[in-house]
């Protein structure tokens, strides 16, 4: 049986730890000086108005620079770093450029002569992934000679883990991302994500676990200092090991099961040769979901404040990233608006497949997709719809007010000014573990 090589290395030193992971996994054995390399980091979210917690959510700049140095040592001069970050405030210009500057990518460009690009400023091309699935990928990564895939080590509320294969979702256009959140039970998000690596050039994956994140992928998850690097020339093998490091059996991660089946691979790591640190010594349980009460109808975050008269079911995999970004600010606004008097039997529906509950007095449809799915549903007594894609903050506020829930018109500002500083303080209290310099280039 062919064995796929995966190296697990404890991070301890700049450059040398990444070098060890690369050498043990034989990740760069076949490089030639003329190779055109595309580096795909992971920048999940960004905001230039305040410093977001980056730990476990964003690939460290330290690992990116170390990888660039190793490529240069192998004589590689044609290096591009490209990313397509989903911006939760799409009308705010320059956020991707601000992320590149803040994370030191422009310094890398100046120091090493590499290229930096926002994939949304570049062409896309259709790629047939098989099984009648076609998505639009950034042309630069598709036409590179080699991909260096640098995801962060984290869980994901919709796909359980977000590692090498899932990181490639950041190279498709917005329409393809929306398409991936399909309401089709057979071709759902896990099915679509599993195919993202199918037509990629040869790839080396290095999962950056200097920090890992549970309750991800956003910065409201819980990060920890894990000091783990997982490396392989086979992205599925890296992900299978990464899932185990996060405390999951790969058989419980649907998109990895799909990916393994399509490759006639096992999911139990039986066809993987692990080198470096023993897997059982670096694995640790990471939570996936925020808790829900009342049979999944109410986030514990609301229930613990005694909020009554509203149901906000757990979003499913059909909810796109843009709408997902509104969830935490809305929940924070609901807590702020709660005065102890139950609201008027309101439910909030999201995604593409949720259905209204017969007998509910008021139904809020949050976003174009859920509106289109339910606009003629006879079980809705009184409809309040935000039809935008993504829905606008003003539209959200207006609809909640009409439904009798007086959330603040400044729901995003309240979230930014209250919750985000609290999240940051969790890490500022432990400077020996959470060092911001990992996200800077000096």
Give residue 89's pLDDT band: very low, low, confident or very high (50, 70, 90): low
Cβ(360)–Cβ(346) under 8 Å?
A: yes
398 in helix, strand or coil?
helix
Give residue 88's pLDDT band: very low, low, confident or very high (50, 70, 90): low
pLDDT score, position 301: 83
Residue 304, CA atoms < 13 Å, CB-side half-sphere? 7
pLDDT score, position 358: 96
**Residue among 438, 306, 322 nearest 369 (CA):** 322
Cβ(130)–Cβ(124) under 8 Å?
A: no
Distance CA 99, CA 47 (A): 8
Query: What mean pLDDT do residues 38-42 have?
Result: 98
Does residue 90 have a pLDDT over 70?
A: no
* 91-95, 300-304, 401-405: least confident range: 91-95
Percent of the chain with pLDDT over 70: 98
Does residue 92 have a pLDDT over 80?
A: no
Domain boundaries defined on the chain: 4-288, 292-420
The domain 4-288 belongs to what CATH superfamily?
Answer: LarA, N-terminal domain (3.40.50.11440)
**Residue among 175, 168, 189 nearest 84 (CA):** 168
The greatest distance separating any two alpha carbons of the chain, rounded to the nearest whole angstrom, comes to: 69
Contacts 24+ apart (CB under 8 A), 367-375: 367/323, 367/391, 369/318, 369/320, 369/323, 373/183, 374/349
Does residue 49 have a pLDDT over 80?
A: no
What residues does 36 pair with on adjacent strands?
A: 78
For the chain, what's the residue count? Answer: 442
* 32-41, 90-99, 197-206: least confident range: 90-99
Query: What mean pLDDT do residues 299-321 have?
Result: 92
128: part of which helix (H) or strand (E)?
strand 124-130
Give residue 223's pLDDT band: very low, low, confident or very high (50, 70, 90): very high
- For residue 378, the Cα-to-chain-centroid distance in whole angstroms is 36
Distance CA 225, CA 428 (A): 13
Residue 162, CA atoms < 13 Å, CB-side half-sphere? 29
pLDDT score, position 48: 79
Average pLDDT, the chain: 94
The torsion defined by the Cα of 335, 338, 340 and 344, in degrees rounded to 10, comes to -120
Q: What is the pLDDT of residues 131-144, one digit of tens each?
A: 999 999 999 999 99
């Amino acid at each position: 049986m062919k064995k796929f090589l995966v190296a697990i290395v404890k991070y301890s030193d700049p450059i040398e730890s990444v070098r060890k992971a690369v050498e043990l996994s034989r990740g760069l054995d076949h490089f030639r000086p003329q190779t055109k390399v595309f580096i795909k980091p992971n920048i999940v979210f960004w905001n230039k108005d305040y410093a977001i917690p980056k730990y476990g959510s964003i690939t460290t700049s330290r690992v990116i620079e170390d990888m660039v140095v190793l490529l240069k040592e192998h004589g590689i001069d044609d290096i591009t770093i490209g990313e397509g970050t989903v911006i939760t405030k799409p009308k705010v210009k320059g956020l991707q450029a601000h992320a590149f500057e803040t994370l030191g990518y422009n310094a890398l460009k100046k120091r090493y002569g590499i290229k930096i690009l926002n994939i949304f400023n570049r062409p896309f091309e259709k790629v047939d992934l098989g099984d009648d699935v076609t998505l639009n990928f950034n042309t630069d990564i598709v036409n590179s000679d080699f991909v260096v895939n640098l995801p962060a080590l984290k869980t994901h509320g919709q796909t359980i883990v977000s590692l090498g294969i899932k990181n490639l979702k950041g190279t498709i256009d917005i329409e393809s991302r929306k398409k991936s959140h399909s309401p089709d039970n057979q071709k759902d998000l896990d099915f679509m994500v599993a195919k993202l690596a199918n037509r990629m050039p040869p790839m080396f994956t290095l999962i950056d676990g200097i920090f890992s994140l549970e309750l991800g992928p956003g910065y409201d998850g819980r990060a920890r200092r894990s000091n783990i690097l997982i490396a392989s020339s086979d992205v599925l093998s890296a992900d299978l090991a990464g899932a185990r490091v996060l405390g999951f059996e790969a058989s419980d991660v649907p998109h990895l099961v799909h990916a393994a089946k399509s490759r006639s691979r096992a999911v139990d790591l039986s066809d993987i040769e692990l080198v470096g640190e023993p897997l059982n010594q670096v694995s640790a349980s990471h939570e996936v979901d925020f808790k829900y009460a009342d049979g999944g109808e109410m986030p514990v975050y609301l229930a613990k404040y005694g909020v009554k008269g509203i149901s906000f079911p757990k979003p499913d995999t059909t909810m796109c990233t843009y709408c997902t970004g509104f969830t935490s600010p809305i929940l924070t606004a609901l807590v702020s608006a709660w005065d102890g008097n139950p609201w008027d039997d309101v439910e909030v529906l999201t995604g593409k497949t949720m259905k209204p509950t017969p007998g509910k007095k008021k139904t809020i449809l949050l976003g174009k997709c859920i509106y289109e799915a339910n606009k003629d549903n006879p079980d809705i007594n009184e409809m309040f719809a935000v039809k935008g894609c993504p829905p606008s903050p003003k539209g959200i506020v207006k609809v909640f007010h009409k439904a009798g829930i007086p959330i603040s018109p400044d729901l995003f500002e309240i979230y930014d000014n209250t919750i985000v500083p609290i999240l940051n303080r969790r890490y500022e209290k432990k400077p020996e573990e959470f060092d911001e310099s990992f996200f800077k280039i000096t």
